[in-house]
Structure 1
Amino acid sequence: MTQRPDPHRPSPEAEPHTSLLIDRFSTRALAPDQQVLAWRTRVGHVVDVPPSRQQLTQGFGAHIDRYRVGGALFTDSQTGAMVLERSIARVSTDTRRDYAFHLYLEGETGRISGMHRKRSEADSVHGIVAMDLNQPFRVERPACRVLTLFVPQHAIDAGLSDGESIHGRTLPFGAPLACAARDHLAVVAATIRDAQPEEAARALETGAQLLIAAFRQDATLTGAGRAALQAAVLARVRRFVDANLHRPDLSPASVVQTLQLKRATIYRWFEHEGGLGAYIRNQRLREAANELVRFPQLQVMDIAYGLGFNSASDFTRAFRRAFDMSPQDLRTRARSLQRARE
């Protein structure tokens, strides 16, 4: 599985807030056939923007203001409709491991896919969506103005019992804490250019804590004791699964039996993952994606069998359903990304 950064490294908050770095980019002055390509280059260090025929022929209006202070990154952008993709190939070959919280001041979150989400969640809301950059996603986004705050993984882990589970989760602005986060960061967007670095850093930290609190409330945990217990048990289960992905007998039953947990409780806590069995399968597929990139000399079937799949064809079907590409396609795209960086 793709590794998170070392939790013992100095946190971004420990970096000195000596300056507030500001830059602005707009496609307005470019020729229409160059606009979406320039935007794609601008944001390509985080996500890909596959251009449509209409965007290439009729143009693509977009601008972004980016603010960086210490370890904090905040953007204010307005764009036409577009598709945003962060593929498993990108996740497996870059080092972005923070969380991106998108607050839609105008427009909606759009159709989000590429991850396993609760069927009851709305496809598009006027509100906030959280994205874990350690997981793939695809967003078909309408024209919008969106504020984005990048929050380090260690801050998410400190504030949420199960940070990975908020990936792709949306919060409408009807939720009180979601409104508070929106109002605060809208003020930040309007005033940050004139703020002192320390003031800007504090404002962004406050925004991050408001967002974490909003999604913690959405997780419906009540009481610090229950939250702490659930966090500890979930972390224990995740560690056990990750350490035993190559064991053929790894299953929900073996996890519950080995860790001596209550079956109904654990299954309920993994509902947002599609169930504990789905979580194990998804983790195996993620590990397979990473091994396909790290070990290009290995045959696909060897990786598949090593991770508990009964046949190469079963593995390929599951991989395509999960990531919308075959294992061979992943290797080809990963090689292209690696060559582009050389």
Structure 2
Amino acid sequence: MTWAQRYAGLLIAVYIYVLLLGVRLTIPLSDLTRVVEEFSAIGMSDYNLREPLYWATGKVLTASFNDAWLAIFVLDMASLVMVAIAVRGRSLSGIAIVCLVLSPMILLGICNIHRQLVGFAAWMLVERLTENSKPSRAVPLHMIPFLIHSSMGILSFVYFFVQACSRKNYPVIFALASFVLLAALLFGNVLAELFRQGTETNTSVIIYLGWAIAVYAILAAATGLRNSMSFFYVLGILVAIALFIFSGGSSGSRFFMLVITVTSIWLFGHQALRSGTPRAKLLNLLLGMALVLPTFGSDFSTDIIRAAYFGVPFGATY
């Protein structure tokens, strides 16, 4: 993949983002509507304290600029910088860059669940900066994305569990497994309620599972089944299904999107998709198509894309 192709992909991605900026101002009852209200309110509510770093930062920026939407834009730019640093050196193709922007997690992060987008960007950066670090350094830094969006805490837990298994660190494996069991027994209802927040979804878990299987087929074809990336993916999808059942579709669907997007970025940067061979190019194309498949299968997402393309408010007649 040449620099010109990657540069073209980046320019297209930026153009799509600019188009989406106008659309998200017109989506009624989106999560961003509440974000604007909360950023503009004085003090931290109980709702804000669940994800204090995101809300406190947004409130400070809103007070500084006297504009909540400008504060959201600044957080967008911070997220872009964090993701750029996180993928530096992975040589993502132009197809990968465009498809990531159109993927459900990033598209909906820009236009709806914004704190998930910021938390995802922070998680990717922390993971990249600590990938070869000791747990004593990595774990505290992973608290940063968790304080931005609570789902990142579960993502970090899955990540550390996979790392411990790959290193055969049995004391850590036992400690993590015991912690999950104890937390579920003692605080199961409280934890379920904590993650039962955000925009609900009426989409069946079977649809999300079909999406996950499509991406997994490409992962298996590219890297095989017996590796830490595959283990992370399978375990993450199992956790997403559990969240779907115990904490509601909102939490489960978000975690499906997180696991699939994170793994896709790793896979796009894998040598199997970077070699420039016809097989690598085909795998890039298939992964990109699989990643954006739910975007074009959802009425909400396709309405966002149509509004952006035609330059009209969300829900208008095209």
Instruction: Provide TM-score, normalisation by structure 2.
Output: 0.27
Quick check: which one's strand share is greater? 1
Greater relative contact order (Cα < 8 A, sep 6+): 2
